[in-house]
């Protein structure tokens, strides 16, 4: 969804500083119910990162999310944004600084796309011209950057397009924080995959702090810088996707991430994360892939080509080295190391 123009647009915008979010022993109890919906939840999301909350239905992940912008009031503990308690911020001011995207999207059917995106800017007294400019800029960012779209109504778009508009609307006043509650949950798998890719690309540009709720472990691994697994209102484990897959804290986490967690890990790593072997003379016959290819895709490439090595292409599209089947297998072995530059 991020085109060349989108990059320029983002570059000319004032950079929003992302904010750090901290949960401090947060709990939510409903009167008359024995078990707390959320109990003693503590974790931090560093600024500019995506933290995925995941767990089975009823584990409290959505409740935890909605306590950040106080759609649900917490009953114990505190949540701070850059050190400031959300309870100390006036409600509407807090909510305008926190973008909110959810599965049902919630576009206003009676407003044009421009008016939908301009809802909060209008409340803040922006001029019509500025709202229009901003709406178009955001539409470009989410891949719907045609002027005609501004005057159309939500009902005229597909579900995937509506969710893009929903994301654009949530970013209207450039909030440092975004809360996303199963945003792609109601969208068909192919469109969902594209939306995820596009959103990740968008996130690399705008670098907001994001809390992302899902029940889909594959989505969590793909989207998260951090994954927090919850069960019965409590945090079970929070870690990077790779560590979570390599070292699940207990049986519950291991079961939740799946028996194929080894293969899932290969999706977290790219060829560029490995030390490259020098190219042999006979490397012309090897299958090749760009350095950004996931190990999972590289493995698939090798197996289908019947090769035990893959040539890794550098940014200039020339082979920079190669990676062997053994090197990939070694990652999943007992002496694991973290991926990284």
Partner 1 sequence: MLAPAGGPSPGPGPVIPRFGGGSSCVVHNGQFCASWFVDNFGSRFAPRLVEHIELTAIAVGVGMVIALAAALIAHRQGWFETPFSLLSAFLYTIPSLAFFELMVQVTGINRFTAEIALVSYTLLILFRNTLAGLRAVPPDALEAAQAMGLSRRQMLLRVELPLALPPIMAGLRIATVTTISLATVAAYIGAGGLGEPIFDGIQTGFKTEFIAAGGLAIALALAADGLLVAAQRLLTPWARRRRA
Residue from the set 4, 31, 109, 189 that interacts with partner 1 by CB under 8 A = 109
Within 134-163, the residues that bind partner 1 by CB under 8 A are: 152-153, 155-158
Binding of residue 30 to partner 1 (CB under 8 A): no
- The CA-atom distances, in angstroms, between 109 and each of 39, 165, 307 are 37, 12, 54
Residue from the set 41, 120, 274, 286 that interacts with partner 1 by CB under 8 A = 120
In the bound state with partner 1, the residue whose beta carbon lies nearer, of 72 and 249, is: 72
Which residues does 195 contact at the CB level (< 8 Å), separation at least 6?
A: 1, 160, 163, 164, 183, 184, 187
Residue from the set 94, 113, 310, 313 that interacts with partner 1 by CB under 8 A = 94
Binding of residue 111 to partner 1 (CB under 8 A): yes
Binding of residue 108 to partner 1 (CB under 8 A): yes
Binding of residue 107 to partner 1 (CB under 8 A): yes
Which residues does 179 contact at the CB level (< 8 Å), separation at least 6?
A: 65, 66, 68, 69, 98, 99, 100, 101, 210, 211
Integer Cα distance of 163 and 169 in angstroms:
10
Residue from the set 21, 27, 100, 238 that interacts with partner 1 by CB under 8 A = 100
Residue from the set 91, 285, 300, 308 that interacts with partner 1 by CB under 8 A = 91
In the bound state with partner 1, the residue whose beta carbon lies nearer, of 8 and 158, is: 158
- The CA-atom distances, in angstroms, between 264 and each of 120, 245, 268, 279 are 40, 7, 7, 28
Q: In what order do the strands lie in the sheet with 288-290?
A: 288-290, 309-313, 319-324
Binding track over 162-181 against partner 1, x by CB under 8 A: -----------------x--
Binding of residue 85 to partner 1 (CB under 8 A): no
Integer Cα distance of 73 and 65 in angstroms:
11
Binding of residue 188 to partner 1 (CB under 8 A): no
- Residues in the site for partner 1, rule: CB under 8 A? 69, 71, 91-96, 98, 100, 102, 104-112, 119-120, 123, 152-153, 155-158, 179
């Amino acid at each position: 969804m991020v085109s060349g123009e989108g990059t320029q647009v983002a570059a000319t915008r004032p950079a929003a500083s992302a904010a750090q979010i901290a949960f401090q022993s947060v709990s939510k109890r409903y009167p008359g119910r024995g078990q707390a919906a959320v109990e003693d939840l503590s974790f931090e999301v560093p600024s500019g990162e995506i933290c995925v909350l995941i767990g089975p239905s009823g584990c409290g992940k959505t409740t935890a999310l909605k306590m950040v912008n106080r759609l649900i009031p917490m009953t114990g503990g505190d949540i701070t944004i850059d050190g400031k308690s959300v309870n100390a911020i006036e409600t509407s001011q807090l909510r305008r600084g926190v973008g909110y995207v959810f599965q049902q999207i919630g576009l206003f059917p009676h407003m044009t796309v421009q008016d939908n995106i301009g809802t909060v800017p209008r409340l803040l007294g922006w001029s019509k011209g500025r709202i229009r400019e901003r709406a178009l800029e955001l539409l470009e960012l989410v891949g719907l950057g045609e002027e005609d779209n501004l005057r159309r109504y939500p009902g005229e778009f597909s579900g995937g397009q509506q969710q893009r508009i929903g994301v654009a609307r949530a970013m209207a006043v450039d909030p440092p924080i975004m809360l996303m509650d199963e945003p792609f949950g109601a969208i068909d798998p192919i469109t969902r995959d594209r939306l995820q890719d596009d959103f990740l690309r968008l996130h690399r540009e705008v670098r907001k702090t994001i809390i992302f709720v899902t029940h889909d472990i594959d989505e969590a691994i793909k989207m998260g810088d951090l994954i927090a697994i919850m069960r019965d209102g409590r945090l079970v484990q929070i870690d990077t996707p790779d560590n979570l897959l390599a070292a699940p804290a207990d049986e519950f986490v291991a079961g939740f991430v799946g028996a194929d967690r080894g293969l899932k890990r290969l999706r977290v790593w790219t060829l560029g994360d490995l030390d490259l072997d020098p190219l042999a003379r006979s490397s012309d016959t090897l299958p090749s892939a760009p350095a950004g290819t996931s190990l999972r895709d590289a493995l698939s490439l090798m197996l289908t080509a019947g090769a035990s090595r893959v040539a890794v292409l550098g940014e200039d599209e020339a082979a920079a080295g190669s990676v062997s089947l053994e090197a990939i297998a070694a990652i999943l072995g007992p002496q694991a190391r973290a991926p990284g530059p």
